Amino acid sequence: MKAAAPAKRTETYLLNMGPQHPSTHGVLQVKLTLDGERILKAEPVLGYLHRGIEKLMESRTYVQCLPYTDRLDYISSMNNNFGFAMAVEELANIEVPRRAEFIRVIMAELNRINSHLIGIGTLANDLGASTGMLYCFRDREYILDIFNEVCGARQTFHYIRIGGVSGDFTDKARSLTEAFLERVPKFLAEYDQLLTGNEIFTRRIVGISPMTAQEALDLNMTGPNLRATGVARDLRKLDGYSVYGELDFAIPVGEHGDNWDRYQVKLKEIAESAKIIRQCLDKLPEGDIMAKVPKVLKPPKGEVYSRSEGTRGELGFYIVSDGTTKPYRVHIRRPSFVNMQGLDLMCRGMLIGDSVSAYSSIDPIMGEVDC
Amino acid sequence: MELKDRVPESLRNNVLIVKVDELFRWAHANSIWPLSSGLACCAIEMMSTATARFDLSRFGYEVFRPCPRQADLLIVAGTLTYKMADPIVRLYEEMPEPKYVIAMGSCAIVGGPFADSYSVVEGIDEVLPVDVYIPGCPPRPEALIDGMLKLREKIMHPERVAEERAKWAERKKEREAKQA
Amino acid sequence: MKQRYLTAEELARIKGEFYTVSIDEEERPPIYVSPEEFLPLMKMLKNDHTLSFTHLSCLTAVDWKDTIDVVYYLFSELLGAYVVVKVKTIRNHPEIPSVTSVFPGAEFEEREVYDLMGVRFTGHPDMRRILMPEGFKGHPLRKDFTYKKPAPPKATRVGEIEKEADL
């Protein structure tokens, strides 16, 4: 009789990804606990880009705080400016001129397209389709041309100010925007050919990292990540802030909450944003672009929590004022930060290679996660 | 007999005679392989520089390598925090010689708008020897291209690099003495 | 845009069920509650089918120099309204029950409040620093936080860089 073979057993091991890794979108570190090729647990380690913006804002005046929001989520700066300006306006009771509101919505939606293009481009790049990224960045440049025309910057705009916007929406900007809107259906069709119908690409994302609506709601997830699970919650519709209440647009939703749905929701949101911009261009009234804001802004004592639909979800600014020129406390509810909690759930049971597409489809921006 | 006289008459117009290390420097200066390491906002502009409109590959610099072992240029694009300082030093040390550092954007130069924060290193030259500084917040892609062309000149003249690094090492010693 | 907060009747009903709830009669009425009754109140706000505050919008803390207030903004899609819950904690030893058993998505935000403000959440599954490095001393968002910047890390092969410079 042969001696009984020792019982086979496996051990889990730890794989460290980042902070320097080509597909972690900046300085994200993820500790993966693996059983063979399967991921048992994914633990994000944050803070490599923590710059203490909340603390810095306490020693700046309200007007000086605004540029910091540019650098928060640095590829959707307009939306961040918008959110912070709305919060201060609510605190100080400033009425924004109607023309400025429309210009703000145009800019925020252009920035949403810009951000989703980067999201799709980097997803394609991480899965090995560098061409997808080149195409997305090519189309993004046309949006940056518009921003360049209205405020002279390509990335950190500081264009939406407290009480309005800093420069008018010129005729040249209008013609650039119209030319861009004509491009939108063309490049969307191109992406459909390049990526959506590409078998290698679809096999890497269809059915990978699924998430149910209940799981996403439990984790407080918002934005495209939540909508991909089938929950049609969009603050632009729900709150109808600014002039969104007057505009007609749909909320694209997914079904299974997998990477494919997250990718599809982003593509469809680009089309919806283009629709919103079209309506705003048609409705854009004449008038002032800046309300009368006192040179020294001293909001009354009190606190405010104002939220808006950023490109990645619910972007909220909680500001406590003590009646001086500087905020007493600022807290930023960053959608990427809260959405990062879903990473563990999305990676669990998947292969190592799929973790890459999970990071990309959550689409975190580390400046926003770490603040 | 000089070297060029040994070249056959018929080929004389087609042959250039240079020193080996000059040839090597010329080749190196025209094919820098940057490390694709982005820290913050500037990284997006770095990516734009490499893509269609600005097309960094016109200069031969588009081969972004994800692994430090294959790269010879570290573009520090973004804010450096104390938590990230250790990994960036390690990345620099893993790169093979000769290697160069570009500080892109005001955060990498002096800390930028975050200089008085509790967690931000005031400029990466506290940590690494920097060869080219590119101001801007963030610098436009044209500025990055200009910076890389400045670096090309520096690679062609290694004595300038050596001189500046000696100064950097001196400054570092002084700073450490002050801290101690 | 002006948000809607809970009306007086709705607040009175909540006040009837909990002893320690006190309401500040201001423009935006926050509900102050003691740490003991905090968790039952949150459970009730979430599970009561006439209120159903299922979305935790914002979780943060404010340092008022004598106390630290932990602030919760809950949103109910049913009512289209917010409720603001605040818990006062002692500054020297701030500790309140974790809300992760009711809202699992509060995990990271509670860790952030612990990291930057120093409020301990009892019953939290993983109470560690999240943004600052391990071993960091102090809590930066407190008003009395003072800090001297440390020396930046030294490259272990600094000698080689200097040797190269001697060439």
Find the range with the poorest average confidence among A248-262, A325-339, C10-24, C69-83.
Answer: C10-24
The radius of gyration of chain B's CA atoms, rounded to the nearest angstrom, is: 19
Q: Which two tokens stand for residue B44?
A: 């997006």
Position C166 scores a pLDDT of 47
Cβ within 8 Å of B, C 83-142: 132-133, 140
Q: How far is CA A77 from CA A61, A80, A290, B7, in A?
A: 19, 5, 19, 62
Residue C167 in this model has a pLDDT that exceeds 50: no
**DSSP per residue, B70-99:** G-SEEEEESPPBHHHHHHHHHHHHHSPSS-
How far apart CA C135 and CA C27 sit, in angstroms, is 42
Give the model's confidence band at C27: pLDDT under 50 very low, under 70 low, under 90 confident, else very high.
Answer: low
Residue B143 CB neighbour total at 10 angstroms: 17
For chains A and C, count residue pairs whose Cβ atoms are closer than 8 Å.
84
Q: Is C144 on the interface with B (CB under 8 A)?
A: no
Does A138 contact B48 at a Cβ distance shorter than 8 Å? no
Q: What is the reported pLDDT for C161?
A: 46
| B110 lies within 8 A of chain A by CB | no
DSSP calls for C90-132: ESSS-EEE-STTT-GGGHHHHHHHHHHH--EEET-TT---SSS
Dihedral sign, CA of A144, A146, A149, A151? negative
Range of the domain at C159: 8-166
Cα distance between residue A32 and residue A26, in whole Å:
18
Chain B residues closer than 8 Å to C132 by CB: 83, 119
Does residue B38 come out as left (phi exceeding 0), alpha (psi in the -120 to 50 range) or beta? Answer: beta
CA distance C165 to chain B (A): 5
The pLDDT assigned to A302 comes to: 85
Enumerate the β-bridge partners of residue C84: C30, C73
The pair of structure tokens assigned to A91 is 């605190």
C25: domain CATH number?
A: 3.30.460.80
Under CATH, what is the fold of the domain B33-165?
Rossmann fold (3.40.50)
Residues C48 and C71: beta-carbon distance below 8 Å: no
CB atoms A48 and B84 under 8 Å: yes
Q: What is the pLDDT of residues A148-190, one digit of tens each?
A: 999 888 888 889 999 889 888 889 999 999 999 999 999 999 8
List all chains that touch chain C, counting a touch as 3 or more CB pairs closer than 8 Å: A, B
What one-letter code names the amino acid at C30?
Answer: P
Angle at A27 between CA A21 and CA A29, to 5 degrees: 70
Edge-to-edge strand list for the sheet holding A38-45 = A13-17, A29-35, A38-45
Q: Report residue A111 as tokens.
A: 């920035």
CA-to-CA distance for A304 and B145, rounded, in angstroms? 44
* B172 vs C: CB within 8 A: yes
Residue B134 has what pLDDT?
93
Mean pLDDT of chain C: 80
In this predicted structure, the answer to whether residue C18 has a pLDDT above a threshold of 80 is: no
Does B126 sit within 8 Å of C162, measured CB to CB? no
Between A165-169, A334-338, C17-21, the lowest mean confidence (pLDDT) is in C17-21
Q: What percent of chain C has pLDDT over 70?
A: 80
C1 within some domain: no
In this prediction, residue C26 carries a pLDDT of 60
Owner of token pair 């080929």: B11
Which of A16-30, A93-107, C123-137 is predicted least confidently? A16-30
Least confident of A19-28, C32-41, C152-161: C152-161
pLDDT score recorded for residue A143: 92
Tokens of C47: 């599970």
Work out the pLDDT band at C2, boundaries 50, 70, 90: low
- Of A123, A337, A118, the C-alpha closest to A209 is A123
Assess whether pLDDT exceeds 50 at residue A237: yes
Measuring CA to CA, how many Å separate A303 from each of A306, A327, B164, C140? 10, 10, 52, 21
Nearest to B114 among A56, A74, A75 (CB): A56
Dihedral sign from CA coordinates of C136, C141, C142, C145 = positive
pLDDT category, A113, cuts 50, 70, 90? very high
Domain boundaries, chain A: 49-370
Which residue of chain C is at minimal alpha-carbon distance from B171?
C162
* Mean pLDDT, residues A25-40 taken together: 86
Identify the CATH number of the domain defined by range A49-370: 1.10.645.10
- Residue in A47, A233, A304 closest to C130 by CB: A47
The whole-chain average pLDDT of chain A stands at: 88
Report the pLDDT averaged over residues C124-138: 86
Look-up: residue for tokens 């800093």? A166
pLDDT exceeds 80 at position A26: no
**Pairwise pLDDT comparison (A26 vs A141), residue with the higher score:** A141
Give the pairing of strands A29-35 and C67-76.
Answer: unpaired
Q: Is the pLDDT of residue C9 over 80?
A: no
Cis peptide before A19 (omega within 30 of 0): yes
Distance from the B160 Cα atom to the nearest Cα atom in chain C, whole angstroms? 10
Give phi and psi for A98, each to the nearest 5.
Answer: -65, -40
**CA–CA dist C115, A23 (Å, integer):** 27
**Does residue C164 have a pLDDT over 60?**
no
Residue C47: Cβ within 10 Å count = 12
Quickly count: other Cβ atoms within 10 Å of residue C148's Cβ. 5
- Report DSSP letters for A87-133, one per residue: HHHHHHT-PPPHHHHHHHHHHHHHHHHHHHHHHHHHHHHHTT-HHHH
**ipTM score of complex:** 0.87
pLDDT class of C165 with cuts at 50, 70, 90 = very low
Least Cα distance to B74 among B143, B25, B128, B123 occurs for: B128
How many independent structural domains does chain C possess?
Answer: 1
Which residues in chain B are contacts of A367 at CB distance < 8 A?
A: 40-41
Looking at residue C158, its pLDDT comes to: 45
Mean pLDDT of A309-326: 90
Sign of CA dihedral A291, A312, A126, B151: positive
What's the pLDDT at A3?
A: 66
Paired tokens of A347: 């990676």
Q: Confidence class of residue C156 from pLDDT cuts 50, 70 and 90?
A: low
The answer to whether the CB of A119 falls within 8 A of the CB of A30 is no
What is the pLDDT, as a whole number, of residue A116?
A: 92
Residue A2 has a pLDDT of 61
Distance, CA of A105 to CA of A280 (rounded, Å): 8
Half-sphere exposure of C143 (CA within 13 A, CB side): 13
Q: Pseudo-torsion of CA A237, A96, A365, C149, nearest 10°?
A: -140
pLDDT for A318 equals 92
Q: Do C162 and B118 touch (CB under 8 A)?
A: no
The average pLDDT across C129-150 equals 85
Q: Which residues of chain B have pLDDT under 50?
A: none
Residue of A nearest to B89 (CA): A20
Taking CB atoms and an 8 Å limit, are A50 and C77 in contact across chains?
no
